[in-house]
């Protein structure tokens, strides 16, 4: 059964760090761009970061550049999101998503056809 499973969420204080992981059991993982999205309570799901199929190029929301780093290990079918200098506004459920194409064209969620169940990240002040 095709699926994406996130892990690594939790509660952290302001200024702390977390590393999220996503393990993929989907066809053609190595040919797909991967991304992280997040959704805070009462807000729409928003794009966080994406990485192309071979891990060479990445895409970030401007507000997260320098704090978040996306990476992937194609040998292990995993994607990671290293989050540093966390602030309460980063509190959200974080979702892993698989793109239909090898290159992420942008932040539109419609480009992604597989989604994980999400992992909760809570940043306390």
* Spatial separation of the C-alpha atoms in residues 11 and 54, rounded to whole Å: 31
- pLDDT tens, 56-104? 999 999 888 899 999 999 999 999 999 999 999 999 999 999 999 999 9
Closest to 80 (Cα-Cα) out of 29, 33, 35: 35
Residue of 110 and 17 predicted with greater confidence: 17
* Spatial separation of the C-alpha atoms in residues 80 and 78, rounded to whole Å: 7
Rounded to the nearest 5 degrees, what angle is found at the Cα of 5, between the Cα atoms of 3 and 10? Answer: 160
């Amino acid at each position: 059964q095709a699926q994406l499973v996130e892990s690594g969420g939790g509660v952290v204080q302001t200024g702390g760090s977390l590393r999220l992981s996503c393990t993929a059991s989907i066809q053609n993982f190595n040919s797909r761009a991967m991304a992280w999205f997040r959704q805070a309570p009462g807000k729409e799901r928003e794009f966080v970061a994406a990485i192309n199929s071979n891990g060479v190029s990445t895409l970030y929301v401007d507000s997260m550049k320098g704090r978040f780093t996306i990476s992937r290990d194609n040998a292990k079918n995993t994607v990671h999101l290293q989050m540093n200098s966390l602030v309460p506004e980063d509190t959200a459920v974080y979702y892993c998503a698989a793109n239909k194409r090898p290159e992420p064209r942008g932040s539109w969620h419609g480009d992604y056809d597989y989604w994980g169940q999400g992992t909760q990240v809570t940043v306390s002040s």
